[in-house]
Structure 1
Amino acid sequence: MIDLHEFLDRLNPNQKINYDTILQKMVKNWQLTKSRPKILLHSCCAPCSTYTLEYLTRYADVTVYYANSNIHPRAEYQRREYVQQKFIHDFNEKTGNHVRFLAASYEPQKYFEAVRGLEKEPEGAKRCRVCFSYRLDIVAAKAVELNFDYFGSALTISPHKNSQVVNSVGIEVQNFYTTKYLPSDFKKNNGYQRSLEMCKEYNVYRQCYCGCIFAAKMQGINLPQIRREAIEFIKGKDGAAEFPEIRFVYHDKSEKVE
């Protein structure tokens, strides 16, 4: 598998990095070597995974890892988790792909500990970088445990997320693990526009805030209302029971992706 440092080390250190171009070069290499890597893809919600999966599944086997203890309140976390699973199910049925789903434990207290002291930071500032690092660290550790070739994130499809920051954090995290980070800027090449189209096509719920309580309050989001709506939405729904075929199943640390 390709280490993105093979590309980064050739660049001028002061040059702004085009991570989309790097990903395209990596894809070309996969095609030349007739390899189909296994990617553990962090996704915060179904909308961010739409075009991201449409693109990546052409060249790789992808498992979505829903690791988002930053999402508040719990009912909203559960709603987004369910919608993520339903989208994967619907996407697989429509396209013939075999995307799998895996979820981390919901541990909001660990997220609060990670961002302690940064609660008043504006959206997109230091708190977000710490949050990216917190979540991508979890993804990288799971990628090592389950023998994935790469770990990456669908966050870069959002115009509200700084792809330079997300990728720089991913590169930093890679340095502590025996796995490789997948660089990306999925919003490029009309990726974000395509994600909007796919949300309509698949009738995907699009949330009105990114996730954390701090940003939601700054935006004036009515969290009690969000909670009520989410509770009503998830009544009688069980993603694990409804979409068993998308579950990523493993029995020991040496087992690879199915």
Structure 2
Amino acid sequence: MDQAGDRAKRGARQVAGAAEQASQSRSFEAVARFGFAANGLLHVLIGALALQLALGKSGEADQTGAVAQLAARPGGAVLLWAGFIGAAALALWQVAEAVFGGRRFRDRDRLKYRLKSAGLAVVYAAVAGTFGVYALGGRSSSRESSQDASAALMQAPGGTVLLFLVGAGIVAAGAYFIFRGVRRKFLEDLRSLPAGRAGQAVTWSGTAGYIGKGLALAVLGILFAVAAIRHDPARATGLDGALKGLREQPYGDAALIVVAVGLICYGLYMAARARYAKM
């Protein structure tokens, strides 16, 4: 029995070692880096759609709206499949980091790093899922998905409290993005910066991008919290609803333009991160 257990442990270690080695291969890293670029393209498109909203035009300024725009373009299917592969590879790389990464840190910092990697794996898996749905010819709506999920959650025991906590968590994530933008902590994710004005452009796009995305997340989180407080899942409308709600506030058009430019800058930074990220 002990011998069988030892063989199982050795087999598990071999599998884990092979998985870690595969995640560190240059070819896998190259594909995963493209996931940053795909995510950056989505944010540029979302920012452009938000600008259209600020100028009085219609559109769906969220992830599904951006992917739908890609799908409608010539060669869109190729872009969708490329985005799916890149985002999926990046999600898998984050899973590997959640399991094996952070060894250079002490115990507490290692745990934080791995939890962060696990969260990012979920984010990039969702991005890959959206690319995949449209690549296969399907359609989806972030607004409807958010409302349906919120309604289902509120029907569960303690669901209203959980929905409020989700909103508070999104607001906290937004505050964290703003903090990273103001303090330029995002530079820690890069192995280097290009020289001269190119490096300055990466720094400024990252600063504006993290602040802009943080503001968008904060507004989104507030909507979820309000939906919980008022027991109205229809208020949890996703990013598109959050941006449209922002436009309805005093000076909303100006605020929406600021957020839109920030999202575009975040997308440009992610494109640079595809090349300069630590991996």
Rg (Cα) greater in structure = 2
Which of the pair is proportionally richer in helix?
Answer: 2
TM over 0.5: no
TM-score, normalised relative to structure 1: 0.30
